[in-house]
Amino acid sequence: MTTLTFVTTSSYDSRKDIMLVRVRSKDGTFRFPLEPTDDAAKLIEQVLQTTQNADHTTLTLSNQPRGGEMRAEDLKGTTLASLGIAHGHLLYANYSEASAPSTSASVTTETAGSGSAPATSSTNGAQSNASNGTASITTAKKPWETVKEDAVDTFWEAQDGKIPRSKDPKFCRHGDKAMCDYCMPLEPYDENFRLENSIKHLSFHAYLRKRDIATNKPSRSYIPPLEEEDYNVKIPCPSEQHPDWPAGICTKCQPSAITLQRQPYRMVDHVEFAHPQLIENLLNFWRSTGLQRFGFLIGRYEPYDKVPMGIKAVVEAIAEPPQEGDADGLTLGVPWEDAGRIENLAQSCGNMSIVGMIYTDLSPLDPTFQDPEAAGKVLCKRHKDSFFLSGCEVLFSSTLQKSNPNPSRFSASGKYNSKFVTCVISGTEEGAIDVSAYQISEQGMAMVSADMIEASVNPNIIRVRPSEGKRYVPEVFYRYKNEYKIDVKESAKPTFPVEYLLITATHGFPNEPTPVFLSSKFPIENRPGLHDQNLTKALTSINSVLAGQELFPIGYAAMLNDAKGKGKMDINPELETVREKLVGILSDWHLICFLDTCGILDKDDIQALCKVAVSHDHRVDLDELLQKTGWQTLSAIAKESAPQPQDADAEDLAAIAAMDGGGNAKSNQPGGGGTGAYAGKVGDVRGAVPESPKRQAPVTRSTAPSHQPSGSRADSPILYTGSDEGDADFDFVPDDDDELDEDEDMFEDAASSTAHGASATRRTGSTQASRPESPVHVPAPPAAAPPPVTSSVKACPHCTFENDAAATDCDVCGLPL
């Protein structure tokens, strides 16, 4: 035992650098006079001197009597000030006795010049290197020091977070630059503000501010204040006085009793879908097949201004894994084999990630489709009298949340809770279709990890498993108010309501959608029979813009005139339009995922493709893609796969050469020959009849009628046509319809395109048979204006479904048109 040193208040005031650190262990409470610049090894050495036959490798220190223990060996090499230890700090020490008496840990101190280096333990492997009169200490990084937090967490940690208030005209009696209790900013966790604005849960960072956690900087955090819930038995037991469970158990290794309560915060406050078409793609599958569908949400996290220090998950795409749908459920395997590839693609597309999952649970209100009042309505399955998430869904969501932890520097393990969200598309009480967003509480995740709960036959209750084998289940309770408004605490064994593990979040769509991916017309993966992906459709989509030509980089850097910063691009407007259209086609998540699997583009090519898809830059970024070898190979294959015109006979070629040599324009009349008729088509697309007599690749045209309603979102790059027959042949509608033929398809079937081109050639061939021997030079007439598009459908302003023109109510949502 060392002699205790007591420092009076007067002596402490006279020596500002001396502080008292209290350490409590099973040997008693001791005080040690230390300096803030002392190394933690000095404190550990003095603590070991107060113990009886202690094993120094098992010594742990904590800020609380139980939980949060840290190995003393890991703290060596760090000053007390950097650990947040100040005057009067109380620490709790715990250790195990050694089998034989052992000396205290040896401590070495190096002195360089007039200064002394902090003491470090030789057993910890710390190194002290003296140079220029200073000492540098190399220690292992802690998990919370090396963790990389999400950008939204870093943003809120740097903000003040207070809720501003304007001057109250009724109670404020001061000037504009003054402040009083009626206009001073509120804390982000203010309870009155939360109730007045109907905010059900605090945001995660507001919760940290309420616990005064976010004010602790990493350099001052002695032990990270957050600790994940863990209901497993500690193996081995910290006391080491008995065999491990199930042979023995004590209060030091068994988990405490659990009282279920509502989690006061939520990790994600809002789920925002970048465009309604994301939901429509799932609904179209159900409308076409009657089967349920599942998908993973691809997006990012951003600040949410509707909640103090809030976070929202912005969904930009939905990846659908292989699955088997059913009328009342679905079957899939998680994780699936493409999970890593999808995560890498999402990371390449603007640092996105998997932010959650979504699935449908829909059934028609009238399965017989005989009741006219129930037409277009769905059954409401999930409500307060049934369930919101079933017990099976809670277990599944908890497992996925546990596999997608949230990185946090306030947790000892470097992770805390999860931002993974669960969205369900189901019916409302009015028969409409709506989306609901949920998360599972931290207690629910810990109970699933400890294998303590299981699903029940009743979907709105959870069963608590008994202690069996290696599973130990402590006492579980939950609180509720009975009919007399009295708070009652009841045992959760054998069952308890599912609602105790749920956290709700809001959802919505932006008023002015600006999605990252401009197109969603390429067939969706893992939909065999409904949406079939193949290389032909990908090449057809590219050929719909390139028209069999090869697009070369144009070198924008050399074309910029930097004089006075007012230079302009010297680029052909028609070529610029083609490049914009190409970027619009390539900005498709499902097309990128397919091209990543076709084996033509390598990793660098996919990186360049993802960059073009999210930046929408048809100049510099597109030039970078065009220079890639993989893209050149893909464009060459697309050019070769484009339909080619049939060869003309020698007499026709001589007639064509004679016409061009005379300098006259090619004729678009039926008697002008097949080549003249084809040139008219090229002129429609490119704005002028080409002057060169070289044969051009034909432009494929869609023979399907247009479903675009009049007065609809004609300028939107993502359109929903309302067709339930599949989305593989949807037409891509360009942003600028004046310079490109609006009948030009983005994704048309390659077989139908080839057949159409062959029929056009046969028609021109028949006119060549009746053509006179000497060519007649007829000037090309002006291109006729396309007939006006007459709409025979009426788009619903609520769900965008297109109904008959005479309909008064929507067939899907039932709302008035």
- Dump pLDDT digits (tens) for 583-623: 999 999 999 999 999 989 999 999 999 999 999 998 899 99
State the Cα–Cα distance between residues 287 and 360, nearest whole angstrom: 11
Question: Which of 113, 140, 167 is the C-terminal boundary of a domain?
Answer: 140
Q: Is residue 181 part of a domain?
A: no
CB-count burial class (<10 Å; 0-12, 13-18, 19+) for 58? middle
Q: Is residue 526 part of a domain?
A: no
pLDDT digits (tens, 9 = 90+) for 169-227: 888 888 888 889 889 999 999 999 999 999 999 999 999 998 877 655 554 445 678 88
* Domain enclosing residue 805, as ranges: 787-817
Backbone angles phi, psi at 311, to 5 degrees: -130, 135
Report the number of distinct structural domains present in the chain.
5
Q: Would you say residue 423 has pLDDT above 90?
A: yes
The pair of structure tokens assigned to 637 is 């294959």
566: phi > 0 → left, psi -120 to 50 → alpha, else beta; which? alpha
pLDDT digits (tens, 9 = 90+) for 520-547: 889 999 998 888 898 999 998 898 888 8
- Asked if 636 and 674 sit in the same domain, the reply is no
User: What integer best gives the mean pLDDT of the chain?
Assistant: 76
- Asked if 17 and 86 sit in the same domain, the reply is yes
CA nearest neighbour of 672 among 771, 765, 762? 771
Look at 612 and 736; give whichever has higher pLDDT. 612
- Asked if 583 and 663 sit in the same domain, the reply is no
Q: Is residue 187 part of a domain?
A: no
Q: Give the three-class secondary structure for 752.
A: helix
Residue 599, CA distances (Å) to 252, 346, 379, 627, 631 in order: 56, 19, 44, 18, 11
- Asked if 576 and 598 sit in the same domain, the reply is yes
The pair of structure tokens assigned to 32 is 């040690």
State the Cα–Cα distance between residues 468 and 808, nearest whole angstrom: 62
Instruction: Note if the pTM is more than 0.75.
Output: no
pLDDT at 372 (0 to 100):
87
Secondary structure (DSSP) of 100-138: S--PPPPEE--EETTEEPPPEETTTT-EEEEETTEEEEE
- Asked if 625 and 593 sit in the same domain, the reply is yes
Question: Which of 596, 616, 641 is the C-terminal boundary of a domain?
Answer: 641
CB 699 within 8 A of CB 645: no
Question: Other CB atoms closer than 10 Å to residue 482's CB: what's the count?
Answer: 9
CB 310 within 8 A of CB 275: no
pLDDT digits (tens, 9 = 90+) for 275-295: 999 999 999 999 999 999 999
Q: Is residue 290 part of a domain?
A: yes
pLDDT at 802 (0 to 100):
73
Which amino acid is located at 236 in the chain? P
CB-count burial class (<10 Å; 0-12, 13-18, 19+) for 496? buried
State the Cα–Cα distance between residues 729 and 752, nearest whole angstrom: 11
CB 596 within 8 A of CB 613: no
- Asked if 761 and 654 sit in the same domain, the reply is yes
State the Cα–Cα distance between residues 381 and 427, nearest whole angstrom: 7
- Asked if 692 and 732 sit in the same domain, the reply is yes
Count CA atoms within 13 Å of residue 636 on its CB side: 9
pLDDT at 138 (0 to 100):
45
Q: Is residue 398 part of a domain?
A: yes
Q: Is residue 494 part of a domain?
A: no
Exposure letters 704-731 (e unless 16+ CB within 10 A, then b) = eeebbbeebeeeebbbbbbeeebbbbbb
CATH number assigned to the domain comprising residue 302 = 3.40.140.10
> Model confidence at 549, in pLDDT bands (50, 70, 90)?
confident
Which amino acid is located at 806 in the chain? A
pLDDT digits (tens, 9 = 90+) for 12-71: 333 457 888 999 888 888 888 898 888 888 898 888 888 877 888 888 888 888 777 888
- Asked if 689 and 808 sit in the same domain, the reply is no
- Asked if 681 and 806 sit in the same domain, the reply is no
pLDDT at 735 (0 to 100):
40
- Asked if 126 and 22 sit in the same domain, the reply is yes
Q: Is residue 516 part of a domain?
A: no
CA nearest neighbour of 214 among 154, 262, 143, 163? 154
pLDDT at 814 (0 to 100):
66
- Asked if 426 and 557 sit in the same domain, the reply is no
- Asked if 592 and 671 sit in the same domain, the reply is no
Q: Is residue 296 part of a domain?
A: yes
Residue 602, CA distances (Å) to 110, 588, 634, 685 in order: 55, 18, 11, 33
Residue 220, CA distances (Å) to 65, 86, 149, 208, 387 in order: 21, 10, 18, 16, 46
Question: Other CB atoms closer than 10 Å to residue 651's CB: what's the count?
Answer: 11
